[in-house]
């Protein structure tokens, strides 16, 4: 399911995108009414730390999750209870703008990434909106590990 994170959940939004989940991150200027409307129109799960907002969503039958913790790890775990995380590896979606990434030819990417990266990495992805290149590294390894941990933690609870 697609997600809408409110203004307070920037880190969570970034991580959900890295996990491949279509995540709308609310700008500061959006009101609660705007958020409810976007969630309803785009059929997104509204995710917030604001009890009142969640209550209003539920009244309108908009699916919503109240995030009860400030720990990113616990927030991800909470999300994992509500939505299914894609099985394929991260780097399917830009963490900055939510645009789906495209795989790019290594020769083309080589001209646009640091030399050491160009030498040591085989696969590259590109965000056509941010014109940013992505590749697997320590950061994505951490994400993969985190997702695996979420899966096993949830399994233990079941
Ligand atoms: Zn982007």
- Is 28 in contact with 7 (CB distance < 8 Å)? yes
Distance, CA 60 to ligand 1 centroid (Å)? 32
Closest CA to 63 of 4, 134, 145: 4
The three-state secondary structure class of 90 is coil
Structure confidence at residue 142 (pLDDT): 80
Distance, CA 127 to ligand 1 centroid (Å)? 5
Distance, CA 110 to ligand 1 centroid (Å)? 19
- The torsion angle over the Cα atoms of residues 36, 78, 92 and 134, rounded to 10 degrees, is 110
Sequence spans of domains, the chain: 3-82, 102-157
Structure confidence at residue 89 (pLDDT): 61
Structure confidence at residue 158 (pLDDT): 54
Distance, CA 93 to ligand 1 centroid (Å)? 8
pLDDT tens for the chain, 158 residues long, are: 899 999 999 999 998 998 889 999 998 889 999 999 999 999 999 999 999 999 999 999 999 999 999 999 899 989 988 998 887 667 789 999 999 999 999 999 999 999 999 999 989 999 999 999 999 887 778 877 887 887 787 766 55
Listing DSSP states for 3-20 in one string gives: EEE-TT-HHHHHHHHHTT
> 88 to each of 83, 85, 158, how far by Cα in Å?
15, 9, 23
Structure confidence at residue 94 (pLDDT): 93
- How many Å apart are CA 100 and CA 94, to the nearest integer? 6
Closest CA to 88 of 156, 21, 139, 154: 21
Distance, CA 58 to ligand 1 centroid (Å)? 31
The class of domain 3-82 in CATH terms is: alpha beta
Place of tokens 């785009």: 42
> 138 to each of 77, 144, 145, how far by Cα in Å?
21, 10, 10
Structure confidence at residue 101 (pLDDT): 92
pTM exceeds 0.75 for this model: yes
């Amino acid at each position: 399911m697609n997600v809408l994170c409110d203004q307070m959940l920037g880190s969570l939004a970034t991580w959900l995108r890295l996990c491949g989940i279509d995540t709308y991150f609310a700008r500061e200027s959006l009101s609660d009414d705007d958020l409810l409307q976007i969630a309803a129109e785009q059929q997104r799960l509204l995710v917030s730390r604001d009890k009142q907002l969640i209550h209003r969503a539920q009244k309108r039958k908009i699916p919503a999750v109240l995030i009860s913790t400030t720990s990113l790890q616990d927030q991800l775990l909470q999300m994992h209870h509500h939505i299914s995380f894609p099985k394929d590896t991260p780097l399917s979606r830009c963490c900055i703008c939510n645009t789906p990434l495209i795989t790019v030819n290594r020769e083309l990417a080589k001209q646009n990434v640091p030399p050491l990266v160009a030498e040591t990495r085989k696969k590259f992805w590109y965000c056509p909106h941010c014109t940013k290149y992505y590749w697997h590294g320590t950061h994505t390894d951490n994400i993969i590990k985190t997702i695996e941990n979420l899966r096993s933690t949830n399994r233990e609870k079941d």
